[in-house]
Amino acid sequence: MGQETERRFLVNKALWEQLEKPEGTLYLQGYLLNENDRNVRVRIAGDKGFITVKGTGEGITSLEYEYEIPKADAEEMLVKFRPAGTEKIRYRLPASGGLTWEVDVFQKANEGLIIAEIELEQENQSFEKPAWLGQEITGEERYANASLALHAYKAW
């Protein structure tokens, strides 16, 4: 299991698009379960599949259990269960101090939304903020992937 300390930011689209960046990976994901205090996500990330259980309720926020599964299983579950989900292209950019920016460029019903995440070892850890970084949205419920699956950005 893992405890995540993650900070999230909007990304300035114009600056982001000018950026030279590594190739992104297509992420398709759906929520088999999407309740107040937990969700179960099936994800295809490039040529890999994953199943993830996340705690989102009081006292269990940031519990996360992720397991790699055959991509074919993940595809089949997304087809058969038709769970509400999100589609995005994820870019991984190295940051100073051995950290990594994960930048998600959302597609389809969430097109126009770009979110950058950085995972920290401690809550008060400092990190460099690139020029393309916008407003902080850490903890803002409506930007959570599980929320975006149900209430898409384009419909806000």
Provide the 10 A C-beta neighbour count for residue 151.
13
**Least Cβ distance, residue 154 to a second copy (angstroms):** 27
Residue 94 burial by CB count (10 A; 0-12/13-18/19+): exposed, middle or buried?
exposed
Is 31 an active-site residue? yes
In the complex, least distance from residue 78 CB atom to a second copy, rounded to whole angstroms: 11
Residue closer to a second copy, measured from CB, 37 or 136: 37
Nearest to 106 by CA among 121, 116, 95, 92: 116
Residues that bind a second copy (CB under 8 A): 1, 32-33, 35, 37-38, 40, 42, 51, 53, 55, 60, 63, 65, 67, 69, 72-73, 76-77, 80-81
- In whole angstroms, the minimum distance from the beta carbon of 141 to a second copy comes to 20
Alpha-carbon torsion, ordered 121, 16, 133, 36, to 10 deg: -60
Which residues are tagged catalytic?
Answer: 31
